[in-house]
Amino acid sequence: MSRCLGLLTGGGDAPGLNAVIRAFVKRGVGQLGWTVIGIEDSFNGLLDSPHRTLPLELRSCQGLLPRGGTILGTTNRGDPFDFPGPDGTRSDRSAELAAAIHDAGMEGLVVLGGDGTQAIAHRMMTEHGIPVIGVPKTIDNDLSATDLTFGFLSAVGVATEALDRLHTTAESHERVMLLEVMGRDAGHIALWAGLAGGADVILIPEIPYDAEMVAAKIRRRQEIGRLFSIVIVAEGALPARPDGTLPSAAERKRALAEGGGASVIAMREIQPHVDAEMRNCVLGHLQRGGSPVPIDRVLATRFGVGAADLVEADRWGEMVRLKNGVVGGVPLVDAISDYRFVDLEGEFVRTARSVGIEFGAQPI
Amino acid sequence: MSRCLGLLTGGGDAPGLNAVIRAFVKRGVGQLGWTVIGIEDSFNGLLDSPHRTLPLELRSCQGLLPRGGTILGTTNRGDPFDFPGPDGTRSDRSAELAAAIHDAGMEGLVVLGGDGTQAIAHRMMTEHGIPVIGVPKTIDNDLSATDLTFGFLSAVGVATEALDRLHTTAESHERVMLLEVMGRDAGHIALWAGLAGGADVILIPEIPYDAEMVAAKIRRRQEIGRLFSIVIVAEGALPARPDGTLPSAAERKRALAEGGGASVIAMREIQPHVDAEMRNCVLGHLQRGGSPVPIDRVLATRFGVGAADLVEADRWGEMVRLKNGVVGGVPLVDAISDYRFVDLEGEFVRTARSVGIEFGAQPI
Amino acid sequence: MSRCLGLLTGGGDAPGLNAVIRAFVKRGVGQLGWTVIGIEDSFNGLLDSPHRTLPLELRSCQGLLPRGGTILGTTNRGDPFDFPGPDGTRSDRSAELAAAIHDAGMEGLVVLGGDGTQAIAHRMMTEHGIPVIGVPKTIDNDLSATDLTFGFLSAVGVATEALDRLHTTAESHERVMLLEVMGRDAGHIALWAGLAGGADVILIPEIPYDAEMVAAKIRRRQEIGRLFSIVIVAEGALPARPDGTLPSAAERKRALAEGGGASVIAMREIQPHVDAEMRNCVLGHLQRGGSPVPIDRVLATRFGVGAADLVEADRWGEMVRLKNGVVGGVPLVDAISDYRFVDLEGEFVRTARSVGIEFGAQPI
Amino acid sequence: MSRCLGLLTGGGDAPGLNAVIRAFVKRGVGQLGWTVIGIEDSFNGLLDSPHRTLPLELRSCQGLLPRGGTILGTTNRGDPFDFPGPDGTRSDRSAELAAAIHDAGMEGLVVLGGDGTQAIAHRMMTEHGIPVIGVPKTIDNDLSATDLTFGFLSAVGVATEALDRLHTTAESHERVMLLEVMGRDAGHIALWAGLAGGADVILIPEIPYDAEMVAAKIRRRQEIGRLFSIVIVAEGALPARPDGTLPSAAERKRALAEGGGASVIAMREIQPHVDAEMRNCVLGHLQRGGSPVPIDRVLATRFGVGAADLVEADRWGEMVRLKNGVVGGVPLVDAISDYRFVDLEGEFVRTARSVGIEFGAQPI
């Protein structure tokens, strides 16, 4: 008898989700004869009544490869293990979800999502025996289990194009331009885009910065006739505390919210030390949208086929990933716990310093 | 004896300024044997000591056509007729400027700039006898003396690409996305980009909006299964006043500043009436930067040649402009006073309504 | 009773066709309550058995605005008045087509197409009484009845981007690069893209060129240290005849086919006169494909609404067009006969010469 | 005493060369105080009289990061060991070159180039004792010593965008479109772009194809209503020989030249077996030009810094390369001999087959 799988997308969208769906369906349905049922809006499509699912067939995949977003939607209304009801109370609806999966005849789930979504998938497996295969999705490329995630280089592309644009206007107006990009905890997008877009300063969450060191860089440029500067700021970047202590995650979140965001805080901190107009720009959701760049389409296609391979080999409980240039699987339980920060002693940071980029802190 | 002209760029930069410079130099220097001296940073290059000028030769133009910004800079440090001194006092330095122009051997000035810059140029002509030729520059396309200004369609291009990106993420997340674009007094960028990018709602300064009418449009879409909506907001758009009176320009400026900007105000006004997450994104300086789109490069080239034609014909006091598809000249004095708002009864607004776009107000 | 219209797309595709369809349906179906039936593959959808048509509803329009090509297809299998049969014989199937239109309950046809398609539409009207409204479609912008056609500036955009790319590689290798673009009879794409992309030489069908004059331009550049040159060649450009006579259209077509295409001929003619490597590149169908640029999306939307306006006003036999910045209608019979060549004495050619572009012939 | 290095770029240009130069100079000149002398047009700048060199200073690097091509030029007039004279005779000018390097006070050379250029550099080292550091440059990504070369993904980007464009026009016209991309011996660009751009068929030099198998794929698509197909063809792809033997390299070169190029041959071979119009498009030099994509800018920056690191460590005779995600060095002698073909049993080909892509041959 032919296999029947459920497939869903959860968490923030990333360019390439549709390309994964397409590749999985082309392989699973087109070549192996499976039935694949798309579940709408993460797990929610099976918690709503009536269920919101749609069969994924070859013709569903037409035009999907270059298309941003996800045709399955990703609107999360809650964790099935702690689902908010209309009256504000919360309840565990995971058993109901497991029953829905069984009733739909699904042998298992293929889950495209970030750490939150994968953690739920993992609980569905361990607590309810639902076989799952994970496909990692994080635009921040902050999952150490995989060398690269799709969507990341598309976001870097949007940020780099923005830096290119800001260069010409910053130079004409002799301004200091700050571009705020995604990266609440890890500064990979800021680091890559800063390198690709020729930023003079990169501020990332991993390196609490000294505003005066940043200003000194801007002044050094002015002294040699470069009257503008470009600063890229990850949304989680904050100045170092005067006393040298590190803020907790909660404190950082609060500081960012109260300060009006990372680039506003940076402007406020740096402005007193420099004699130049400063302006900021927040890229926001523009980084998530649009067609994936070619390398993301290729990676997403490899992940989609890789997920089908894991299903075919009954390697439930694994997540597809790229390691040393090859796509394979890794146990989900190992994958979801492992966060990747920017390596402060790694080649990337060292390369950035070697071309004169300032991080607002001394090298380690 | 060969002619000697000064050339400067003033006001906010716009994609195409360098292309104008290139065309003027190619024609004037390359074919007519003129000397062209670039003045740095608007009129300021001749007020600083030493003067900051550079000869514009054919080789200065290499690579200029596709390049954003302006090689002459546009950092305005003040109106020569009311120039701020280091001690905060202001003085009329226009006679000094006129003398510098004469001393440099310039027969006249070619002034690339917006209404502020052109008004100064006009005063230099009427009060100090400096011959001037104007080239209009407004990214907002809000000058009625010319059918089109370079830079405008490049800005529309950036805004349209942003709408394309927001579409995929808005759809995946079933959100209402607001994109704030330039347009303090006139909504041309919002109107064109809204049409080109498939916005559901366009909010412009010329049409004070009713937030409930906007919300009704969003709800109508939800009812037919379109669970996301895209709103484009000009930076000068504001809700209508409850009593139907129109705010003064000063009141509008204050309302925008205090409210946190047009898209923040729009979110706050509309959110209570709709059941959907709303997010905003402010494009800001991204709209000014980068390489001009082809039509802007063509128009800028035509304007550069047109300015040289006006000089050659000694039509001082005129501004180059496009009218009914042909580039020619118009007296500067007529040009600078004439603002173009969006025509509320014109074909564009009617077309937008015909494809279902909501402006938040009844048609006139 | 509600109106019922047929709508079809004919001839070579152009970016913006889908945007016209969308705007017409949004206005006609969404606001005026009409029924619109899409006919597949030009008139052929009604000549095949069974008929190939599809209802065009609001939901058919989702995602259509930025999408290249046409959802209705445009594969022409023949002129209904002279239709090729399987055995190679030809027959007049226009009466059969008229009957099919009546049987389908269509009050009239909205025809998106070039001169060939519009001529058929016009015959259907005059010989069979079928009411038609035309929407012009020519990527070459060679229809004098309208100031601009959608798709043209998208093609110019593709060609300009190609010129930008060729610049960097031509300069690195000190080569003469030829880019062949569309334009069998009119050189508008070459002229606009040449201006926008900084070509040194523009060769168009309207100006038979002297290869030695082109070579002289290349040599003049080499003498001042510009060791590369960029030539843009319309696909219909040919050298002037030695005896000064003009070739007939048939002779030109033959010369182009036998010579291997316009850019190959140009290389062969020019190479003996210059000391530099020459390479050519033929853009071909890349110019037709892809998402329309914003101004084409706007124009296509205006044309779609304009066509609906003509239907609503029962102005059958007219074609929508842009004239002096406003969309309106013109009798089809006038429109289809009027070809627009590049005006050899017009502002565009003069501007190009003013920035030093060589056409390979003396100015008129 | 401060170091003095020569730096040159050789072979076909690739997006990213300027970014390597910039990074090397920023590190070497800006931070380490070296003197860096750029040699124009590969080794030729030191063979011409007078020498053509230019000092590379920090200000030489302004604006270089996003710029395509190479400011040093790459026009090769001959191998110094076998240099063509004006009378057609050839002579060994390598000793003269070595003397020029010494006379210019260069401690060694940093050589950015492909296998030909690196082989010359290696001979200069072994035969004349000139210390060299190599930086690999091959747009084809066909050097097995490095996991990736800059320029490759930019070329893939151009090819993928072309496929996106061809899709819409192919679909509208129900055509089979062939896109010919670079890759004389290795099909990496075709394979990556084919995956990224949704090609139905990929033809590469490593897999001599059976035209009937390709046609069968196109027919299978027609049977399920997909009336168009997209074929990507590397410029070195050829049909399999009827007798199963493999042609020699010389035979292949001749076959391609005589046949009119890979895509023309493919059309001729496949057309008899399919009932659809076929059209081809040759991307050619468009793949080399233009601004590097962000990942290429990052890699080029890493290579530039990596080359400076090798110089600093006196690791002469090594070539910079990327291996397992880290930039380091490898002996030049090992690097230049090692060609990378597409791995016919590797994950990429298998992934392509898993999404239904046809290579025109049975899997191994």
- Contacts of residue D327 in chain A, CB cutoff 8 Å? 347, 351
pLDDT in the model for residue A113:
95
Interface test with D, best of A351, A353, A357, A358 (most D CBs within 10 A): A351
Which chains are within 8 Å of C by 3+ CB pairs? B, D
Q: CA end-to-end span of chain B, whole Å?
A: 59
Number of helical H runs and strand E runs in chain B:
11, 13
Longest dimension (CA), chain C: 75
Instruction: Report CB contact under 8 Å: D354, A197.
Output: no
- Contacts of residue A193 in chain D, CB cutoff 8 Å? 294
> pLDDT tier at D303 (50, 70, 90 boundaries)?
very high
Instruction: Report CB contact under 8 Å: D289, C70.
Output: no
Is residue D88's pLDDT more than 90? no
Tokens 């751009």 found at: D197
Interface contact C177, partner D, CB < 8 A: yes
User: Over chain C, what is the mean pLDDT?
Assistant: 95
Opening angle at CA A351, ends A346 and A357, nearest 5:
115
Instruction: Report CB contact under 8 Å: D286, C158.
Output: no
pLDDT in the model for residue A135:
98
Min distance C58 CA to chain B CA atoms (Å): 10
Closest CA to A237 of A224, A255, A215: A255
Which chains are within 8 Å of A by 3+ CB pairs? B, D
Give tens-digit pLDDT for A61-95.
999 999 999 999 997 788 999 999 888 899 999 99
pLDDT in the model for residue A90:
93
Q: Which domains are present in chain D?
A: 4-150+292-335 (3.40.50.450), 153-289 (3.40.50.460)
Give tens-digit pLDDT for C249-258.
889 999 999 9
Nearest CA in chain C to B347: C326
- Contacts of residue D347 in chain A, CB cutoff 8 Å? 302, 326-327
Instruction: Report CB contact under 8 Å: B153, C301.
Output: no
Is residue A1's pLDDT more than 70? no
Give tens-digit pLDDT for C98-111.
999 999 999 999 99
Closest CA to D169 of A165, A72, C287: C287
Distance of CA B297 to the CA centre of its chain: 15
The residues in A 99-158 lying below 8 A from D, measured between CB atoms, are 147, 153, 156-157
Is the Cα dihedral C126, C132, C135, C138 positive or negative?
negative
pLDDT in the model for residue D1:
62
Q: Say if residues D267 and D261 touch (Cβ distance below 8 Å).
A: no
Q: What is the mean pLDDT of residues B299-314?
A: 98
Min distance A323 CA to chain D CA atoms (Å): 9
Is residue B213's pLDDT more than 90? yes
Is residue A300's pLDDT more than 80? yes
Q: Say if residues A153 and A296 touch (Cβ distance below 8 Å).
A: yes
- Contacts of residue B291 in chain C, CB cutoff 8 Å? 164
Nearest CA in chain D to A164: D66
Of A73, A165, A290, the CB nearest to B290: A165
Residue type, A175: R
- Residue percentage of chain D with pLDDT more than 70: 100
Walking along chain C (364 residues) 10 residues at a time, the average pLDDT comes out as 93 95 98 97 94 95 94 88 90 96 97 94 97 97 95 98 95 94 97 98 97 98 95 97 84 93 97 96 93 98 98 98 96 88 96 98 91
- Contacts of residue D147 in chain A, CB cutoff 8 Å? 325
Instruction: Report CB contact under 8 Å: B198, C58.
Output: no
Task: Report the distance separating Cα C217 and Cα C225, nearest Å.
Answer: 13
Task: Report the distance separating Cα B300 and Cα B137, nearest Å.
Answer: 10
Of C75, C281, C286, the CB nearest to D285: C281
SS3 D107: coil
Instruction: Report CB contact under 8 Å: B196, C157.
Output: no
Instruction: Report CB contact under 8 Å: A351, D301.
Output: yes
- Contacts of residue D9 in chain C, CB cutoff 8 Å? 172
Length of chain B: 364
Min distance C98 CA to chain D CA atoms (Å): 24
Interface test with B, best of C21, C195, C223, C287 (most B CBs within 10 A): C195
User: Active-site residue numbers of C?
Assistant: 140
Give tens-digit pLDDT for C104-159.
999 999 999 999 999 999 999 999 999 999 999 999 999 999 999 999 999 999 99
- Give D220's contacts (C-beta < 8 A, 6+ positions apart): none
> pLDDT tier at D137 (50, 70, 90 boundaries)?
very high
Instruction: Report CB contact under 8 Å: C13, D168.
Output: yes
Q: What is the mean pLDDT of residues B39-53?
A: 95
Per DSSP, which regions of A40-175 are E strands? 53-55, 83-84, 90-91, 108-113, 132-136
In angstroms, what is the C-alpha Rg of chain D?
Answer: 22
Q: Residue A49: exposed, middle, or buried by beta-carbon count in 10 A (0-12, 13-18, 19+)? A: exposed
Of D140, D142, D185, D200, the catalytic one is D140
Tokens 């497939």 found at: A7
Whole-complex ipTM:
0.96
Q: b/e for C27-54, b at 16 or more Cβ within 10 A?
A: bbbeeeebbbbbbbbbbbbbbeeeebbe
Q: Say if residues B305 and C355 touch (Cβ distance below 8 Å).
A: yes
Of B168, B173, B289, the CB nearest to A290: B168
Query: What Cα–Cα distance (Å) separates residue A137 from each residue in A154, A323, D110?
Result: 13, 15, 40
Instruction: Report CB contact under 8 Å: B177, A290.
Output: no
Min distance B171 CA to chain A CA atoms (Å): 7
- Contacts of residue C167 in chain D, CB cutoff 8 Å? 68-69, 289
Interface contact C32, partner B, CB < 8 A: no
pLDDT in the model for residue D278:
96
Q: What is the mean pLDDT of residues A107-129?
A: 96
Is the Cα dihedral A13, A18, A19, A21 positive or negative?
positive
Q: Residue B344: exposed, middle, or buried by beta-carbon count in 10 A (0-12, 13-18, 19+)? A: middle
- Give C272's contacts (C-beta < 8 A, 6+ positions apart): none
Q: b/e for B299-317, b at 16 or more Cβ within 10 A?
A: bbbbbbbbbbbbbeeebbb
SS3 C78: coil
Min distance C92 CA to chain D CA atoms (Å): 24
Q: Residue B128: exposed, middle, or buried by beta-carbon count in 10 A (0-12, 13-18, 19+)? A: middle
Tokens 């900021």 found at: A280
pLDDT in the model for residue D335:
87
Of A67, A68, A169, the CB nearest to B289: A169
Query: What Cα–Cα distance (Å) separates residue B52 from each residue in A119, A170, B43, D188?
Result: 62, 19, 10, 52
Instruction: Report CB contact under 8 Å: B68, A290.
Output: no
Min distance C353 CA to chain B CA atoms (Å): 9
Is residue D268's pLDDT more than 70? yes
Give tens-digit pLDDT for D192-233.
999 999 999 999 999 999 999 999 999 999 999 999 999 999
Instruction: Report CB contact under 8 Å: C355, B301.
Output: yes
- Residue percentage of chain A with pLDDT more than 90: 89
Interface contact A168, partner B, CB < 8 A: yes
Q: Which residues pair with D91 in a beta bridge?
A: D83
Give tens-digit pLDDT for D328-358.
999 998 888 789 999 999 999 999 999 999 9
Is residue B1's pLDDT more than 70? no
Q: What is the mean pLDDT of residues B189-205?
A: 98
Angle between helices D152-173 and D188-197 (to 10 degrees): 50
Min distance B305 CA to chain C CA atoms (Å): 6
Instruction: Report CB contact under 8 Å: C290, D13.
Output: no
Q: List the single range of B213-217, C359-363, D86-90 with lowest mean pLDDT.
A: D86-90
Which chains are within 8 Å of B by 3+ CB pairs? A, C
- Give B349's contacts (C-beta < 8 A, 6+ positions apart): B191, B342, B343, B359, B363
Q: What is the mean pLDDT of residues B278-288?
A: 95
Closest CA to C319 of C329, C308, C305, C306: C329
Nearest CA in chain A to B283: A281
Of D70, D75, D286, the CB nearest to C165: D286
Min distance B8 CA to chain C CA atoms (Å): 20
Q: What's the whole-model pTM score?
A: 0.96
Instruction: Report CB contact under 8 Å: D195, A298.
Output: yes
A vs B: CB pairs below 8 A: 119
- Contacts of residue C288 in chain D, CB cutoff 8 Å? 165, 169
Is residue B76's pLDDT more than 80? no
Instruction: Report CB contact under 8 Å: C169, D69.
Output: yes
Task: Report the distance separating Cα D19 and Cα D297, nearest Å.
Answer: 6
Of B41, B79, B115, B140, the catalytic one is B140
